[in-house]
Amino acid sequence: MTTALEDPSLERHFKGHRDTVTSVDFNPNMKQLASGSMDSCLMVWNFKPQMRAYRFVGHKDAVMSVCFSPSGHLVASASRDKTVRLWIPSVKGESTVFKAHTATVRSVDFSSDGQTLLTASDDKTIKLWTVHRQKFLFSLNQHMNWVRSAKFSPDGRLIVSGSDDKTVKLWDRNSKECVHTFYEHGGFVNNVEFHPSGTCIASAGTDSTVKVWDIRMNKLLQHYTAHSSAVNSLSFHSSGNYLLSGSDDGQLKVFDLLEGRLFYTLHGHQGPVTAVSFSRAGDYFASGGSDEQVLVWKTNFDQMDFSELLQSHKQRASNSEPAPTVTDIPPKVPRPSSASTTSSRATGKGIRSEIKNMDDEVPEVTEIGPSMFSSNEPLSTNDDVEMRSSDGRPRSAGDDFQPKSTTQQLEQRTTIPPQLAGTLEHIVGQLDILTQTVSLLEQRLTMTEDKLRECLDNQQKITSSMAQKDL
Amino acid sequence: MSSKSTPADIPQPVNDIQGDDRWMSQHKRFVLSTKEGEPEVVFIGDSLIQQLSQTELWNRMFEPLHCINFGIGGDQTQHVLWRVQNGEMDCITPKVIVLLVGTNNYDHKAEEVVDGIVAIAKCITQKQPKAELIVMGLPPRGEKPNKLRDKIATINAKLAVDIEKVPGNVTFLPIDPSLFVNSEGFISHQDMYDYVHFTNKGYNKLFEQLLDLVQDLLHEFVKVENTSQDTDSIAGELATRIP
C-alpha cells in the first residue's frame, strides 16, 4: 500500500448557524459534529449525507463552548446566559440545565472518564461538577479577570486555564492548588489546550502568538508568531505532532511541532476563524468562523503506512550483529512510503519523539538522518520562516495550501516527489537511530555487567588467595 | 476644522480636507470593533481620550477592565455626536461610558459647547440606557492664564448644572484645575508636554479619580498586585515572576 503525504482537503461545508460560530467538537464515534454559535443554538451535524442536522434551542444567549462527552452520549454547552446545558444529541433533544456561574460561562470540558465537568467563566472562577446530577464539587478562584478557557489533562490530574489577567495557570485537581503560573505579557489568553502526552500545554493569545510550554520544566518550548492577529482557538493532533490554530486573520494554520515550524496555512473562511478542533483520531478537523460556516477537512498529512515500516524494522533487527557501530548502518533501501510520523494511532504508544525545544541551539543527534553523516548538515535550517508555496497547485473552493518545502533530497523516488521522500527518509532515519541507540545501550549494559562479574570474581580470587597465604 | 456656521450640537462628520480620509477610517474601524469585541467600558472623545490608549496607565489599569477607546484627535462636539449617531454606540453593551470632548470647539461660545456636550449625553443615554455615562469636565490648557482657560471654566460650571438635567444614568466628573495649575497660574510641561496634551504623569493625575469611579460602577477592583508589574523593563518582569 502506498500512501503519500497529502495536503488537507475540504470534505464538508455546513451552513445553518445564524451568527458567529464559537466552538466545534467531534463526537468520538465520528458520526456527528457539534457546533455552538452566538445565535444561542447548538447544532449537531451528521456526517451521513442523508441525515439532517439538529438545531437545539434552549439557551437564552450566545453559546460560547461545546464539548462531547468521551462516550459520545452527551453534549455540554456553555452559554452567556450563565448556564451550562447537557444535551442528548438525538432527535428528541432532551437536555438538563444548571446555573453554573454568575457571569458568562466561556468554556466547558469533560474529564476523560466522563464523570466530571469543568467550567470557566467571566466571574473569574473555574468550577468542577459531577456529570451525574451536576453536583458542584469545588471552585478554583485565583484568576483576576475573565477565565476564557479551562481544560483537563489527558489523565485528569491537572487542569490548565487561560485568562484575561494575562496568565495561564496549572492546577492540581486533587489538592485544588495552583501549581504554576505562566505569564503571558503580550495579551489576553483566548484558548489553552493540553498536548496528548500531557507533558506540554499550548496557549493562544490576542497578541497573535501561539506558545507551547513544557509543564514539567515550567518553561517555554516554542513560540509561533505566524498569525497576524489574535489567535482564537487551538487543537492538538492525537499524535501530538501537529497543532492546529484559528485566528482573526481568517487563516487556519497547522504547526509541525517536531520541526518547530509552520506546516500548512489554510484559507476557507471569510473573516475570523473562531473555533478549530481535530477529531479524536486526528484524521479530520473542523473549523468555525464569524462567517457562520462550519467546515470539515480531511487531515491527510498524518497518513502513513505503518505496517511496511514495522516490517522493515523487523528485518533490521534480525540482521544486526552483537555490536553495531555507525558504519554498520545499512544503506537506505528505496521504499515507496516508508513514512512514519510516530503516530500512535496504529499501535497505541509508538516511539514518541520529544517536541522540539526551540531554545536549544545544539542540534540533537536524533535529528540527523543516517545518510546525512557525510554532508553533516541538519535537515531543517530555518525554523521560524513561514513557507510560501508558489507552485501551481489546483485550488478547490477558495482553499490555499502551503506544502512543506526545502527538505534535502536523499534519493530519487519514482512514486512521490523528492522533497516529500526526503522528509520521510529523515523521519525513518530518526527512528533507526533511536533503535540503534537502544541496542547500543543494551550492548554497553551487557558489557558492563560482564566487567562487573569479572571484577567480583577477581576480588573473590584475591581474598581467597590471601586467606590461603595467611594460613 | 469645521466652518463657523456648523453649530456645536448638530451632528457633523469631518470633511477630508487633507486627502487621506483618516477620520472616516478611524470611525469605520470603531464601528467594526463594536461588532467583534465585548467591551465593558467605552471611552469616547477627542485627542485627550485618544492618547490615553497609548499610555502605560491604560495597559496597567484600564485594559484589564475590558476597555475600548473611540477617541479621535481634533474632534469637536458635533463630530463626536455624529459618530455616536452613526454606529459607535450600537451592538455593544458596555457598563460604563466615559466622554471627554469640547476643548477643540474654538469657533463656539461656552454655552454652545455645553449644548453640544449635553446633546451627546442625551444621544448616548438613549442608545445605551443601561450604561452609566460619565461626562468629564474639560482640563485647563496653556502655560499661563489665558482666555481659553476662562472659557473652559465657564463650560465646566455650566456643564455641572446642565448635566444634572439629562435623564438617565449620567454623572458629571469635575476637574479640579489646581491639579495642573500651580499657585502662580502656570501649567508644567511635565504634566502637559505641549500645554494641552498630557504626559504619563499628567494622565495619572487626571484619571486617578476617574479610575476609582469606573471601578466603583463596575463593582470591580483591579487588585493591587497588578499595579506593581512594571512591564517596561525586563527587570520588572523578573522581579515580579514567582520563582
For residue B66, the chain A residues in CB contact (below 8 A) are 146, 164
Best residue in B33, B35, B36, B220 for a mutation probing chain A (most A CBs within 10 Å)? B36
For residue B222, the chain A residues in CB contact (below 8 A) are 144
For chain A, the residue count is: 471
For residue B64, the chain A residues in CB contact (below 8 A) are 144-145, 164-165
Rounded Cα–Cα distance for residues B211 and B58 (Å): 10
Q: Smallest Cα–Cα separation from A339: which of A219, A429, A243?
A: A429
Mean pLDDT of B174-180: 90
Backbone dihedral angles phi then psi of residue A200, each to the nearest 5 degrees? -135, 160
Cross-chain residue pair B241–A183, CB shorter than 8 Å: yes
Split at pLDDT 50, 70, 90, the class of A319 is low
B188 classed as catalytic: no
Q: How far B231 CA sits from the closest chain A CA (Å)?
A: 8
Mean pLDDT of A109-124: 95
For residue B36, the chain A residues in CB contact (below 8 A) are 248, 272, 290
Q: Smallest Cα–Cα separation from B96: which of B53, B62, B54?
A: B62
Mean pLDDT of A295-315: 71
Mean pLDDT of B151-176: 92
Report the run of H or E that residue B40 belongs to, with start and end.
none
B194 classed as catalytic: yes
| CATH 3.40.50.1110 is the classification of domain B3-238 | yes
Report the run of H or E that residue A243 belongs to, with start and end.
strand A242-247
pLDDT at A153: 95
DSSP lists the bridge partners of residue A222 as A212
Question: Which residues have CB under 8 Å from A368's CB, separation 6+?
Answer: A376, A378, A379, A429, A433
Backbone dihedral angles phi then psi of residue A34, each to the nearest 5 degrees? -105, 145
pLDDT at A97: 94
Please report, rounded to a whole number, the percentage of residues in chain B having pLDDT higher than 90.
60
Question: Which residues have CB under 8 Å from A398's CB, separation 6+?
Answer: A267, A268
* Burial environment of residue A361 by CB neighbours within 10 A (0 to 12, 13 to 18, 19 or more): exposed
- Residue B243 confidence (pLDDT) above 80: no
The closest CB to that of A164, out of B64, B231, B237, belongs to B64
Cross-chain residue pair B36–A165, CB shorter than 8 Å: no
Among chain B residues, the shortest Cα distance to A271 is held by B36
Split at pLDDT 50, 70, 90, the class of B65 is confident
C-alpha cell at A460: 573473590
Rounded Cα–Cα distance for residues A325 and B16 (Å): 77
A 10 A CB-CB count for A81 gives: 19
pLDDT at A377: 35
DSSP lists the bridge partners of residue A139 as A127
Best residue in A22, A148, A165 for a mutation probing chain B (most B CBs within 10 Å)? A165
Mean pLDDT of B99-122: 93
Among chain A residues, the shortest Cα distance to B232 is held by A185
Mean pLDDT taken over chain A: 80
For residue A164, the chain B residues in CB contact (below 8 A) are 64, 66
Query: A139-168: per-residue pLDDT in tens?
Result: 999 999 999 999 999 999 999 999 999 999
Cross-chain residue pair B64–A145, CB shorter than 8 Å: yes
C-alpha cell at A240: 501530538
Distance of CA A102 to the CA centre of its chain: 32
For residue A290, the chain B residues in CB contact (below 8 A) are 36
A 10 A CB-CB count for B196 gives: 17
Please report, rounded to a whole number, the percentage of residues in chain B having pLDDT higher than 70.
88
pLDDT at A5: 67
pLDDT at A312: 56
pLDDT at A87: 94
Mean pLDDT of B198-218: 88
Query: A162-171: per-residue pLDDT in tens?
Result: 999 999 999 9
Query: What is the DSSP annotation of B23-44?
Result: HHHHHHHHHHHHHH---SEEEE
Which residue type sits at A433? I
Q: How far A357 CA sits from the closest chain B CA (Å)?
A: 21
* A145 DSSP 8-state letter: S
B189 classed as catalytic: no
Q: How far A203 CA sits from the closest chain B CA (Å)?
A: 19
Cross-chain residue pair A144–B223, CB shorter than 8 Å: yes
CATH number of A9-368: 2.130.10.10, 1.10.8.50, 3.20.20.140, 3.20.20.70? 2.130.10.10
Query: What is the DSSP annotation of A290-348?
Result: TTSEEEEEE--TT---HHHHHHHHHHHHHH--SS--GGGSPPPPP-TT------STTTS
Contact A161, A149 (CB under 8 A): yes
Q: ipTM of this predicted complex?
A: 0.74
pLDDT at A329: 54
Cross-chain residue pair B231–A185, CB shorter than 8 Å: yes
A418-470 helix and A306-319 helix, angle to the nearest 10 degrees: 40
- Residue A219 confidence (pLDDT) above 70: yes
What 3-state DSSP class applies to A400? coil
Cross-chain residue pair A183–B64, CB shorter than 8 Å: no
Q: How far A181 CA sits from the closest chain B CA (Å)?
A: 8
Torsional class of B52: left (φ above 0), alpha (ψ -120 to 50), beta (otherwise): alpha
Kindly report which listed range (A190-199, A327-336, A425-434, B116-125) carries the lowest average pLDDT score. A327-336
* Domain ranges within chain B, ordered by starting residue: 3-238
Cross-chain residue pair B64–A185, CB shorter than 8 Å: no
* A385 DSSP 8-state letter: P
pLDDT at B63: 83
Cross-chain residue pair B241–A146, CB shorter than 8 Å: no
Split at pLDDT 50, 70, 90, the class of A52 is confident
Contact B182, B145 (CB under 8 A): no
C-alpha cell at A93: 433533544
Query: A71-85: per-residue pLDDT in tens?
Result: 999 999 999 999 999
Q: Smallest Cα–Cα separation from A346: which of A297, A298, A308, A296?
A: A308
Report the run of H or E that residue A8 belongs to, with start and end.
none
Split at pLDDT 50, 70, 90, the class of B230 is very low
Rounded Cα–Cα distance for residues B79 and B83 (Å): 6
Q: How far B51 CA sits from the closest chain A CA (Å)?
A: 20
Split at pLDDT 50, 70, 90, the class of A299 is very high
The one catalytic residue in B150, B194, B212, B216 is B194
Highest-confidence segment of A50-59, A240-249, A351-360, B37-46 = A240-249
Rounded Cα–Cα distance for residues A406 and A387 (Å): 9
Q: Smallest Cα–Cα separation from A190: which of A39, A65, A99?
A: A65
For residue B221, the chain A residues in CB contact (below 8 A) are none
Split at pLDDT 50, 70, 90, the class of A382 is very low
- Residue A35 confidence (pLDDT) above 90: yes
Cross-chain residue pair B223–A146, CB shorter than 8 Å: no
Among chain A residues, the shortest Cα distance to B230 is held by A185
Mean pLDDT taken over chain B: 86
Q: How far is CA A279 from CA A34, A63, A244, B47, in A?
A: 11, 21, 12, 49
C-alpha cell at A364: 540533537
Kindly report which listed range (A339-348, B123-132, B220-229) carries the lowest average pLDDT score. A339-348
